[in-house]
A and B are shown apart, each in its own frame.
Chain A
Amino acid sequence: MIAGRRGALVGVALLAIGLVLPFVPGVYIVFAIDLVCFALVAVAFDMLLGFTGLLSFGHALFWGGAGYVATIAIAHGVTSFPLAVVAGAAYAFVLSAAVGAIAVRRSGIYFAMITLAIGEIQYFLAFQLDDLTGGENGLSVTTRGTLFGLSLENDRVYYYLVLFVAVLGTAFALRVANSPYGAVLAAMRENESRAKSIGYDTERFKLGAFVMSGTLAGVAGALYAIANRLASLDAVDWHTSGTIVMMTILGGIGTIYGPIVGAAVFQSLDFFVSKTAIGDKTNIVMGLVFAAVILVARRGIVGELLRALAPRRPLPLQDDDLPGALVPDPS
């Protein structure tokens, strides 16, 4: 975690960029909105991976699922934007509680596989229940709803609203990280059996982190779907789960600010490269970049940056060995 003054500085810098982003020449406003949504889901994801070391390969469950619920709400006549978002977030909350209850009992690869599998089940449901979800055609709506009477159709207005929510979400994540709850999670990360022996119910803590992460991801997903006035199958596809993982790792696991940077870099590269002459080779570029990060810059952009700036005090989460993640847990 980036603590103290350094943390505040990075936060302020990111906020400043966020505030002026729509006015930067060359930045298309809808792209900026999408970017902030992805930044938020990456932060949400880091709440799980960074806090507990659990790698979920199914965050599209919450991102996409909440997006569908929010869009379905609007399609069925909900005109209040907050209500639609809350509907999506509620879905994500319940789903993450249910999935988490099953998944956190396992760790490592089993955890990842459960999330992946349940993500696939949701994908098939979204496809088949086409009366509700539009099936393969996706679900389009004609409005973003209103916020206490204020229309949200203006892209710039919507951007600042999304930015506001993202800042709140990030602040929440930081608050949890720096709280006693976060301290227990940190302790569990270091040595789970010791934490257990002191008397902490480690599973409940992991479940809590999972639910917080899933719900926040749902909020991001609802904002995203409403931004585009469209819920589509891509949002519940496991490739999107993979994208979320990549963004977070690119930015730096466990740094909270890192995933924001990671999402920004990932989205920019993706969007930008897809418009160039090598646009049809975007996946190769993204794959190579990601592979390079895994091989030589594992701490991610922000992680490596922080390491360079404070070499004598390695951050607890930035050890090369992310403890506990993928080895099958016998217990």
Chain B
Amino acid sequence: MPQVTPDYVLLQVFNGLVNGGFYALLALGLSIIFGMLRIVNFAHGTMYMLGAFVAYYGAQEIHLPFFAALIVAPVIVGAFGLLLEVTLLRRLYGLDPLYNLLLTFAIVLVLEDLMRLAAGALGSPYETPALLAGVTNLGFTEYPAYRLFVIVVSVIVCGVVYFVIERTPVGARIRAATENPALTRAFGIDTSRLVSATFAFGVGLAALAGVLAAPNTNVTPTMGDSVIINTFAIVVIGGLGSIAGSIVAGFALGVIAAVGAVVYPPISNTLIFIVMVLVIMFRPAGLFGAAERAA
């Protein structure tokens, strides 16, 4: 173990915020989708992977700069998600959400394999953008500039999404459609368009996380596999459907896992699941879950 000093712990907090940023973005997207559509999107990790690959192919084929990819990838993957929702997921809305969970599971199998055929299983190279390469001095340690960028972007995006959903008229409509679709429709609001747009948006958030991940982690077709289970856990801890819950739980669990690795390393990879089980046992609605509406 590296020396456990206050500086080291602070360093771990920063690392935790980076990981937490990813968790938050992914959990946010998943939570929004669940809140609106009651779909547990098993393919969320796959959308994350697609975001990274759009960035990769963009860079390969048209020299798409990283900063442009941050916008382009979510749009493209969001549009793809829209397509999936309209053609496939929509058919099962009248049924038990179980079926859409399983359908998204099948989608994972197909998409991951297709990607593997296209890109190979070994990993595709993606470089840290030159502007963000290198370390900055934080005072107590040197820290890669790119990681700071990830923290900043994830905090800003989460903050903006929270603001939009909780404080704007558009957000109010989304919340209304989530709470009571029939009544919302009675007010003349086209809920099905709202639903599709929401799904595309949630998926776009996952893709954004994927682009952010590309410079730091190996871009492979199965990279989504390693995030999806953790994301489920975060969403449950925060409260299914709760925006604030996903954000807070994401960052918090990222930091807790990182600091936990200092205290007792072997536990760090299972900490999230242990916390999740405890939350379900003692506070099933999640930390921020609202009082549940009738099924």
Contacts and interface: CB of A to CB of B under 8 A. Distances in A.
A128 B2 CA distance: 21
Interface residues of A, number: 45
Given A113-B233, A327-B38, A287 B109 contact: yes
A329 B103 CA distance: 22
Given A118-B273, A326-B38, 4 more contacts: A109-B240, A281-B117, A284-B110, A287-B109
Nearest to A294: B103
A113 B232 contact: yes
Interface string B263-276: 00010011001101
Contacts of A327: 38, 97, 295
Contacts of A295: 88, 91-92, 103
Interface in B91-116: 91-92, 94-99, 101-103, 105-110, 112-114
Contacts of B233: 113, 117
Contact of B106 (A112, A290, A320, A322): A290
Nearest to B89: A295
B97 A325 contact: yes
Interface of B: 38, 40, 88, 91-92, 94-99, 101-103, 105-110, 112-114, 117, 229, 232-233, 236, 240, 266, 269-270, 273-274, 276-277, 280-281, 284-285, 291-295
A106 interface: yes
A10 interface: no
A179 interface: no
A203 to B, nearest CB: 14
A315 B136 CA distance: 67
Interface of A: 55, 102, 105-106, 108-110, 112-114, 116-118, 120-121, 124, 128, 238, 242, 245-246, 249, 280-281, 283-284, 286-288, 290-291, 294-295, 298, 320-330
18 contacts: A109-B40, A109-B240, A113-B280, A114-B276, A117-B232, A118-B273, A120-B229, A284-B109, A286-B109, A287-B108, A298-B99, A320-B94, A320-B95, A326-B98, A328-B292, A329-B292, A330-B291, A330-B293
A64 to B, nearest CB: 16
A330 B98 contact: no
Contact of A109 (B97, B110, B291): B97
Contacts of A294: 92, 99, 102-103, 106
A326 B274 contact: no
